[in-house]
Amino acid sequence: MALDKNAPETRSFKVVGSRPLRPDGIDKVTGRARFGADMSAPGMLIGHILRSPHAHARIRAIDTSKAEALAGVKAVVTRADFAAAPEGMEDVLDNCMAGEKALYDGHAVAAIAATSAAIARQAAKLIEVDYEVLPHVTDVDAAMAPGAPALHDGRSDETVPDGYSANVMSRVEYGHGDIEAGLAKADRVLERSYKTAATHQGYIEPHACLATMGPDGQADLWCCTQGHYMVRNTCAALLGMDQGQLRVTASEIGGGFGGKTTVFIEPVALALARKAGRPVKIVMDRTEVLRATGPTASSSIDVRIGMTKDGRITAADAELRYQGGAYPGSPVGMGSMSAFAPYDLENVRTIGYDVVTNRPKQAAYRAPGAPMAAFAVESAIDELAKGFGLDPLDVRLKNAAREGTRSSYGPTFPAIGLEATLRAAKDHPHWSAPLGPNQGRGVACGFWFNFGGDTCVTLNVTPDGTVTVTEGNPDIGGSRASMSMMAAEELGIPYEKVRTVIADTGALGQNEVTDGSRVTFAVGLATIEAARAAKREMCARVAKIWGIDEEAVIWEDGAAKPAGPNAGDYPPMTLAEIAAIASNTGGPIAGHHEVNAEGAGVSFATHIADTEVDPDTGATRIVRYTVIQDAGKAVHPAYVEGQFQGGAVQGIGWALNEEYIYGADGILQNPGFLDYRIPVASDLPMIDTVILEIPNPGHPYGVRGVGETSIVPPLAAVANSVSAATGVRMTDLPMSPPKVLAAVQGQQEG
Amino acid sequence: MSQIHVTTRLNGDETEFLCDAQETLLDVLRNRLGLTGAKEGCGTGDCGACSVTVDGRLVCSCLMLGAEAVGREIETVENMADGETLHPLQRKFLEHAALQCGICTPGILVAAKSLLEQNPSPTEEEARYWLAGNLCRCTGYDKIIRAVMDAAEEMRRAS
Ligand code: FES
Ligand code: FES
């Protein structure tokens, strides 16, 4: 059969680009949808985790006998109940259940399963842990200083030069050209240091799971996760099971933002279920979420940028130091790669250091590593532009990366949308709107790679001509709707005729987690290919019925039609008609596609922020905010806008309020939503959005991921805006009222 | 530990349950009565995911004891729709794509309904302040506020 080979640019869409209601919507507005904590099982026990009260301590011994003796306690596990982790997974296991040392306040040291939550909590108090308290460190620069308390001695890899603290785990370097030669050509070289605090993903749903394991070793796990296949593989490895023996079902997920791309309680619940022989449910409370999951890295960054007085960047250099908590793996690599990605630079270099501290192991957070790097770079560019009296958008346009630019991290860009976002920003009424007293305007750009990865989709045609798309990525913000739309588009049938379901791990092959803005791109691509496979099969069946060549049957508007010399010879057969007689033409009809999706398109955004700073209190209010981003192709524009708005507001929280605050004792001081304050409705105006569509050549419909880029610019956009409003350059996030007030008063006195 | 016997009106029906003295209303709803629409986001009154109304007043069910429900009228998100017919707020939330993950949605719907009962014509600012106790991490609130304002307008026209 001949399939349409329309290039994404020229194709016109019927379903894609419209705004239908999401198929899981009614369940979610009526309270019927089942999230992680909403499941129970007969005979279920409640699990509870005992956590370290120390930032850093050697665990000499754990005595669980009193807890085990308590009536209602059915199992207690410690690290001794887990075999040694397979290579490469030692840190994951150690983070789920501490071994030799507790490495941060909140680190799990033991777990109990009991007949009620109250008994489990009571039992936790009866567990005696003999700790030898050790010196600790929580600040990235302090952890890099000579003589800092070492978390893991001798684990630095070969990239770390001699003489660095044992807490530096690795070093990366990217770039090209000659920095010093470039700087020599500049009219001004700006050198600045920036800091950002650790922030938490802040999903409203705490981690929750329900584990069951039979005496035959077969197990089932229900949990809220961004990737149940990852959960299966990781838990099977940590519990010494075959992957096929563990079936994981993803619940509806109440937010993740990267924070649910790893395991915390899931292996523990399985270990308890194995020991107790009964189902075990574990639900974290908010304090546990803040103390022991997420957050993102905190950072300390030095930037040097040289610029000519007409705004051309001659060289750009940055050193990034990220602490990612108690184990190696901060996102400093991606921070280093993304820092200067928006610009076309002759001389560019980034050096990154991955540092460990006595904090919870960082987890991915929306565009991991990029927002902090963009904060530093976009602040420096803003300061240089202002110093020369240049329009900050013009300066960015002058240096913008475009098709053919060799990126700062290596690859050469195909068609990209940065310039388009900058021009749209210049043309937007927001850019020229008047400002009131104590108000300032800031602008910043952001970049994100976007991912593809392993993906499986099966598309089944039912006997009555409806279609079920089965995919393996939890729907975290409307992706069922997007998949149904792409399947409907490709098959030429109404959206209402397609239902998308998220399969458990028994139903499909391996699926990469819902991360890297990959789902609409990669699962969409696999959905389209699965639909094409089904169309090919249907055309073949019809060719047989008509007794003509397969090549002479085309698919158009939801039906098979004779083409070429046979055109018009037979009336078209619709999908429903073909489905109805499938049993007689060879059996059920389905299409499937398995792929390691490549060709994810990078995406860029430009944000404009207006703030008003109260000179008496230092409090900052967001007055107006506009997001302009390239989506490639917006499949469901309302959900694209939602990603733009949500990312922008998380970035606003990071810029203004949110931070992990540790006391001198290394204990987290604000483990609750009262003191870890995320933006609320009254903090914000409407968030304007502009969707640009510069098609991604790597996707049949031109789709790029959209979920992450939106959190990259806001830190700098807001900081540039506050700096404009106050006349003081803000280099340390969050810009909480006391900090802003001190800066404003310092300037008045100075 | 002896349990307390409670009789209350839940979503219009007389309901009885036993609970421990320290058990929250949220735990009773979720764990004893099978109503998992109200969610626990914090357990400390800071997120609003557990919002219900008690005698018509908006409360965080995580801050109230189950035993305190004696003789009260409790309404949860499960009772917002009238059979098959969604409440205008529920419909507008879907039309405006005012939910992404949906975990905050039940609490926000209950809170917004309570707002519109007290103030059928809220300004955007009033809606934002009323909902300031309901955290949403996904949406940035834009589409939530639009949905609430649109539902308010539709309900005003209908009444
Ligand atoms: S769970 Fe009740 S306010 Fe958060
Ligand atoms: S939609 Fe996810 S928290 Fe509101």
Q: How many Å lie between the alpha carbon of B36 and the closest alpha carbon of chain A?
A: 6
**Pairwise CA distance, residues B53 & A30, whole Å:** 15
**Pairwise CA distance, residues B24 & A401, whole Å:** 56
Give the list of residues 6+ apart from residue A436 with CB closer than 8 angstroms, or none: A612, A623
Q: Does residue B119 lie in a domain region?
A: yes
Per-residue pLDDT of chain B (159 residues; tens, 9 = 90+): 689 999 999 999 999 999 999 999 999 999 999 999 999 999 999 999 999 999 999 999 999 999 999 999 999 999 999 999 999 999 999 999 999 999 999 999 999 999 999 999 999 999 999 999 999 999 999 999 999 999 999 999 998
- Residue ranges covered by each domain of chain A: 3-33+452-596, 136-410
Ligand 1 contacts CB of residue B43 (under 6 A): yes
Our CA dihedral for A532, A535, A536, A541, rounded to 10 degrees, sits at: 170
Inter-residue contact A401 to A418 (CB < 8 Å): yes
Q: How many Å lie between the alpha carbon of A162 and the closest alpha carbon of chain B?
A: 43
Of A22, A285, A648, the CB nearest to B140: A648
User: Domain containing B135 — which CATH number?
Assistant: 1.10.150.120
**Pairwise CA distance, residues A378 & A401, whole Å:** 14
Chain B residue at shortest CA distance from A676: B46
Q: Do A204 and B145 touch (CB under 8 A)?
A: no
Helix, strand, or coil (residue A734): coil
DSSP state of A358: S
What strands, in cross-sheet order, belong to the sheet with A687-692? A439-448, A603-613, A620-630, A687-692
Of A478, A649, A674, the CB nearest to B140: A649
Q: Do B93 and A29 touch (CB under 8 A)?
A: yes
Question: CB contact, 8 Å: B60 with chain A?
Answer: no
H or E element in which residue A188 lies: strand A188-196
Question: CB contact, 8 Å: B21 with chain A?
Answer: no
Q: Which atom of ligand 2 is nearest to the CA of B99?
A: 1
Ligand 1 contacts CB of residue B25 (under 6 A): no
Our CA dihedral for A628, A632, A636, A642, rounded to 10 degrees, sits at: -30
Q: How far is the CA of A630 from the centre of ligand 2 (A)?
A: 23
Q: Report pLDDT for A11.
A: 79
Give the list of residues 6+ apart from residue A156 with CB closer than 8 angstroms, or none: A164, A166, A168, A169, A170
Q: Is the dihedral of CA A644, A650, A651, A657 positive or negative?
A: positive
Q: Report pLDDT for A516.
A: 83
Q: What is the mean pLDDT of each run of 10 residues along chain A (750 residues)?
A: 46 94 97 98 98 98 98 98 97 98 98 97 98 98 96 95 96 98 98 98 98 96 98 98 97 98 98 98 98 98 98 98 98 98 98 98 98 98 98 98 96 95 98 98 96 96 97 94 98 98 97 91 97 98 95 96 92 98 97 95 96 97 98 97 98 98 98 98 98 95 95 98 97 97 86
Question: CB contact, 8 Å: A106 with chain B?
Answer: no
Inter-residue contact A19 to A638 (CB < 8 Å): yes
Inter-residue contact A461 to A534 (CB < 8 Å): yes
Inter-residue contact A273 to A220 (CB < 8 Å): no
Query: How many domains is chain B partitioned into structurally?
Result: 2
Neighboring chain B residues of A517 at a CB cutoff of 8 Å: none
Of A37, A204, A645, the CB nearest to B135: A204
Q: Report pLDDT for A1.
A: 41
Q: For ligand 2, which residues put their CB under 6 angstroms from it?
A: A 204, 255; B 99-104, 136-139
Give the list of residues 6+ apart from residue A450 with CB closer than 8 angstroms, or none: A516, A517, A518, A521, A600, A601, A602, A603, A704, A705, A708
Domain identity same for B49 and B93: no
Question: CB contact, 8 Å: A422 with chain B?
Answer: no
User: Domain containing B17 — which CATH number?
Assistant: 3.10.20.30
Q: Residue B106: which domain range?
A: 88-158
Give CATH for domain A136-410: 3.30.365.10
Q: How many Å lie between the alpha carbon of B109 and the closest alpha carbon of chain A?
A: 8
Mutation site for A-interface testing, chosen from B141, B144, B148, B150 by largest number of A Cβ within 10 Å: B141
Ligand 1 contacts CB of residue B48 (under 6 A): yes
**Pairwise CA distance, residues B96 & B100, whole Å:** 11
Q: Do A29 and B133 touch (CB under 8 A)?
A: no
Domain identity same for B98 and B145: yes
Q: Give CA angle at A462 (A456, A463), nearest 5°.
A: 155
Which among A58, A103, A49, A56 is positioned nearest to A78, based on CA atoms?
Answer: A49
Q: Report pLDDT for B1.
A: 60
Domain identity same for B13 and B37: yes
Going by alpha carbons, the residue nearest to atom 3 of ligand 1 is B45
Q: Do A684 and B76 touch (CB under 8 A)?
A: no
**Pairwise CA distance, residues B118 & B103, whole Å:** 25
Q: Do B39 and A639 touch (CB under 8 A)?
A: no
Q: How far is the CA of A290 from the centre of ligand 1 (A)?
A: 15
H or E element in which residue A291 lies: helix A286-292
Q: How far is the CA of B141 from the centre of ligand 2 (A)?
A: 9
Domain A3-33+452-596 has CATH 3.20.20.210: no
Q: How far is the CA of A262 from the centre of ligand 2 (A)?
A: 20
Q: Report pLDDT for A515.
A: 87
Q: Tell how many helices (H) and how many strands (E) occur in chain A.
A: 21, 26
Domain identity same for B10 and B50: yes
Q: Report pLDDT for A5.
A: 41
If phi over 0 gives left and psi between -120 and 50 gives alpha, with beta otherwise, what is residue B128?
A: alpha
**Can you give the three-state secondary structure of A230-258, one letter per residue?**
HHHHHHHHHHCCCHHHEEEEECECCCCCC
Of B31, B42, B141, the CB nearest to A681: B141
Q: Is the dihedral of CA B92, B98, B100, B101 positive or negative?
A: negative
Domain identity same for B67 and B103: no
Chain B residue at shortest CA distance from A649: B140
Of A205, A283, A687, the CB nearest to B140: A687
Which among A715, A495, A521 is positioned nearest to A631, based on CA atoms?
Answer: A521
Q: How many Å lie between the alpha carbon of B95 and the closest alpha carbon of chain A?
A: 6
Inter-residue contact A695 to A9 (CB < 8 Å): yes
Q: What is the pTM of this model?
A: 0.97
Helix, strand, or coil (residue A175): strand
Question: CB contact, 8 Å: B94 with chain A?
Answer: yes
Same fold, A3-33+452-596 and A136-410: yes
**Pairwise CA distance, residues A278 & B146, whole Å:** 47
Q: Give CA angle at A21 (A18, A23), nearest 5°.
A: 125
**Pairwise CA distance, residues A468 & A110, whole Å:** 43
Chain B residue at shortest CA distance from A366: B138
Q: Give CA angle at A50 (A49, A52), nearest 5°.
A: 130
Domain identity same for B122 and B65: no
**Pairwise CA distance, residues A48 & A63, whole Å:** 17
Q: Do A31 and B36 touch (CB under 8 A)?
A: yes
Ligand 1 contacts CB of residue B46 (under 6 A): yes
Q: Which atom of ligand 2 is nearest to the CA of B98?
A: 1
**Pairwise CA distance, residues A540 & A619, whole Å:** 67
Q: Report pLDDT for A3.
A: 41
Q: Does residue B43 lie in a domain region?
A: yes
Of B96, B102, B127, the CB nearest to A28: B102
Q: Which atom of ligand 2 is nearest to the CA of B138?
A: 2
Q: Does residue B83 lie in a domain region?
A: no
Which among A538, A565, A563, A568 is positioned nearest to A553, based on CA atoms?
Answer: A563
Question: CB contact, 8 Å: B41 with chain A?
Answer: yes
Which among A94, A91, A98, A117 is positioned nearest to A54, based on CA atoms?
Answer: A98
Measured from the alpha carbon of residue A252, the closest ligand is 2
Q: How far is the CA of B71 from the centre of ligand 1 (A)?
A: 23
Q: In whole numbers, what is the pLDDT of chain B averaged over residues?
A: 97
Question: CB contact, 8 Å: A478 with chain B?
Answer: yes
**Pairwise CA distance, residues A264 & A241, whole Å:** 18
Neighboring chain A residues of B60 at a CB cutoff of 8 Å: none
Measured from the alpha carbon of residue B50, the closest ligand is 1
- A 124-163 near B (Cβ less than 8 A): none
Domain identity same for B92 and B114: yes
DSSP state of A750: -
Question: CB contact, 8 Å: B32 with chain A?
Answer: no
Q: Domain end: B33, B48, B77, which one? A: B77
A201 to A260, A296, A335, B137: CA distances (angstroms): 9, 7, 17, 8
Chain A residue at shortest CA distance from B126: A682
Question: CB contact, 8 Å: A257 with chain B?
Answer: yes
**Can you give the three-state secondary structure of A550-612, one letter per residue?**
HHHEEEECCEEEECHHHCCCCCCEEHHHHHHCHHHHCCCEEEEEEEEECCCCCEEEEEEEEEE
Peptide bond into A562 cis (omega under 30): no
Q: Which amino acid is at B121?
A: S
Q: Does residue B82 lie in a domain region?
A: no
**Pairwise CA distance, residues A660 & A295, whole Å:** 9
Inter-residue contact A246 to A221 (CB < 8 Å): yes
The best mutation among B27, B28, B29, B47 to test binding of ligand 1, ranked by most ligand atoms within 8 Å of the C-beta, falls on B47
Helix locations, A449-515, DSSP H: 479-491
**Pairwise CA distance, residues A624 & A717, whole Å:** 12
Beta bridge pairs of residue A441: A610
A732 to A196, A366, B28: CA distances (angstroms): 6, 20, 45
Domain identity same for B41 and B68: yes
Q: Is the dihedral of CA A735, A741, A743, A747 positive or negative?
A: positive
Q: How far is the CA of A95 from the centre of ligand 1 (A)?
A: 27
The best mutation among B60, B77, B131, B135 to test binding of ligand 1, ranked by most ligand atoms within 8 Å of the C-beta, falls on B60
